[in-house]
Chains A and B, each alone.
Chain A
Amino acid sequence: MHFEQQICEQIPHLQRYALALCRHPAEAEDLVQDCLERALRKRHLWRWGRLRPWLFRMLYHLYLNRRDSASQRREILSAEAGEELTTSANQQPHAECLRALEHIQNLPEDQRTALLLVVLEGTSYRETAGILGIQVGTLRSRLARARETLRRQEQVASKEAPPLRRVK
C-alpha cells in the first residue's frame, strides 16, 4: 500500500484524537492538517515501520508545540475558541457522554493525553508510550491515576446531584 494511502486511512483516527486533545473542531482540523503536511514533507524520515505510531507521535508533538506557544502568547487561537464540542443528539445515554467529556477535561494534561489515546485508539501500552515519549511504567501510573480521578469525580458529582422530586 502506498504511503499516501496509509496516511489517508489514519485520517479519521487522527481527527478523533486531535479533537479530543484540542476540544475545538477548528483547532483539531488545523492540527490534523499540520500533521498531514508534516508527514508528507518528512516521509523520508519514515523507516517503513508502522505508520500509525509515527503519525500519532507527530500529531502529539505538534499539539504540545501549539499548546505551549498558545499559553505563551495568551491568545485565543481561533474564532471558534470557546465553542463547545458538538455531539449528535441521538447519543444514548447523552447525559453520561457529556459528563464523561466534562470530567476528562478536568484531568491533568499528561493523564488526559494518555487515557484518550488508549481509550480512543485502543493502542497497546508499548505503542502509546512510544507515541507519548514516556516509559511504559510511567504510562501505567498515569492511566491508573486518570481513571481513579474520573471515578472520584463521578462519585462527587453523584453526591452533589439534587435528588429527583416527584412533581405530581
Chain B
Amino acid sequence: MSSTHSSNASHEVLSDEQLSAFADGQLPRHQAQRVAALLRRHPEYAERIYGYWRREAALYQALNRTRLPEVSLPTVRPRPSVLLTTASAASLMLVAVALWLAWPGQTVQKSAGPNYIDVALNAYLNAPPLTQRHDQPSPASFADLGLTPAGQQVLQVANQELREYRFNGPDSRRLALYEISTTSQEQQGWLRILASSQVPVVEWYGQNKRYLLVGEAPTPALTQLAVNMQQLLQKPGTQGPPPSNMQQQAMMPPGNAQNSANRNGKEADEHHAQPAPSPATLDM
C-alpha cells in the first residue's frame, strides 16, 4: 500500500528540467500532456512556470528596447579568387573602353557642368503641378505615340535652359522629356540608357540638343519610346504624326500592342502613308 503511494507520489513530482522545457514548449507531446495534467493538480508548479515567463518577459522587455546604434554591413576585402575575377573584369572593361574610344567618331563625354541627369530626375520626381501652356507644348507632336502634353516649363540650371515637357502616357503613366541646347555634335544618334536610377532615363543627342526622357515605364518600353521620339525629332518640321507602326506601341501592354498597331495602321492608310521604321529599331 505504502509502495503504491510512494509510486504515485514520484509520478506527481516534476523535475526542474521538465518544468523549464515545458515553459519553453520544448517537451514532446505525451510528456507535455502529463506535465499539463500535473500543473492542474499542483498549482505551485504552475506558479513557478508563471514566474519563469514573467521574469523572462521583463528581461526581454529590458533588452529588446535597449537602443543600439545602427550597424551596416561592413565592406570586406575580397578573396584572391574574387580579386582575380575583378581584375579580369576591370581589364576587359578597359579594353572595351579603349576600343570604343578608338572607334571613328567617338569621343569622351565631357563631365564639366551640371549633372543634367540628376537635375532631370529631381525635377521629375519632385514635380509640382504645372498649368497647361500651349505656346510650345512639345518639341514635336507625340500624340500618335499615345502621349498627351501635360505642361511644360523652363528650368534654369547654371545659366543654361533646361526645357521640361511633361506628358501623360497610356494608363496615366507620367513621362517627361528634358531638352538642353548644346553645340556639341558628340554622340549624335546614340542612345544611353540609365536603368539603375529610381526611374529609368534614356538620353540621346540630336539637332544640337541633348534629350533626356524620364518616365514611369519599364526600361525597354521607355527605350522604344525614345527611339520613336528620336526619329520624330529628326524629321524637319516635325509637327506631323509619326510613322504608322510606331504608334502607341511603345507604352502599350504587350496584349494591346498588336491591336493598336492594326488600328493605327488602318488610320495611317486612310490619311497619309509614312515610311515604316525597321522592326529592328522598334525591338530595341
Contacts of B23-66 to chain A: CB distance below 8 A:
23-24, 26, 48, 51-52, 54-56, 58-66
Determine how close the nearest CB of chain B comes to the CB of A146; give it in whole angstroms.
8
Give the chain B neighbours of A68 by CB distance below 8 A: none
Does A67 touch B at the CB level, under 8 Å? no
Q: Is the interface of A mostly helix, strand, loop or mixed?
A: helix
Of all chain A residues, the one with the shortest Cβ separation from B69 is A29
Q: Mark B1-30, 1 if CB is under 8 A from A, else 0.
A: 000000000000001110111011010000
**Residues in chain A near residue B17, CB distance under 8 A:** 140-141, 143-144
Enumerate chain B residues within 8 angstroms of A85, measured Cβ to Cβ: 62-63, 66
Judge if B67 is at the interface, Cβ distance under 8 Å: yes
List the one stretch of B71-79, B208-216, B233-241 in contact with chain A. Answer: B71-79
A40 touches B68 (CB 8 A): no
Tell yes or no: A110 within 8 A of B by CB. Answer: no
Q: Is the CB of B20 within 8 A of A101?
A: no
Which residues A67-105 have CB closer than 8 A to chain B? 85-88, 91, 93, 96-101, 103-104
Closest chain B CB from A58 CB (angstroms): 14
Q: A41-B76, A88-B65, A119-B56 are in contact. Are A33 and B71 (CB under 8 A)?
A: yes
Query: A20-B63, A120-B60 are known contacts. Are A125 and B21 too (CB-CB below 8 A)?
Result: yes
Interface size in chain A (residues, C-beta < 8 A): 49
Please, which residues of chain A bring their CB within 8 A of the CB of B58? 93, 96-97, 99-100
Q: How far is the CB of A42 from chain B (nearest CB, A)?
A: 10
Report which of B52, B63, B67, B68 forms a contact with A147, defined as CB distance below 8 A.
B52
Closest residue of B by beta carbon distance from A101: B62
Q: Say whether A109 faces chain B, with CB atoms less than 8 Å apart.
A: no
Contact call B66/A125, Cβ cutoff below 8 A: no
Q: Which residues in A have their C-beta under 8 angstroms from that of B76?
A: 37, 40-41
Residues of B within 8 A of A119 (CB): 56, 59-60
The answer to whether A7 touches B16, judged by C-beta atoms less than 8 angstroms apart, is: no
C-alpha spacing A143/B56, complex, angstroms: 12
Q: Which of B24, B55, B71, B77 is A150 in contact with, Cβ under 8 Å?
A: B55
Q: B74-101: which have CB < 8 Å to A?
A: 74, 76-77, 79
CB of A36 closer than 8 Å to a CB of B: yes
User: Known pairs A141-B17, A144-B16. 18 more at Cβ < 8 A?
Assistant: A15-B71, A33-B71, A40-B76, A85-B62, A86-B66, A87-B66, A88-B65, A91-B61, A97-B59, A97-B61, A97-B62, A103-B55, A115-B56, A119-B60, A125-B26, A140-B26, A147-B52, A151-B52
A binding-site residues for B, Cβ under 8 Å: 4, 7-8, 11, 15-16, 19-20, 25, 28-29, 32-33, 36-37, 40-41, 44, 85-88, 91, 93, 96-101, 103-104, 115-116, 118-120, 124-125, 140-141, 143-145, 147-148, 150-151, 154
Question: Which 7 A-B pairs have CB atoms at the shortest separation, nearest pair first?
Answer: A97-B62, A144-B16, A144-B20, A100-B58, A100-B59, A40-B76, A144-B17
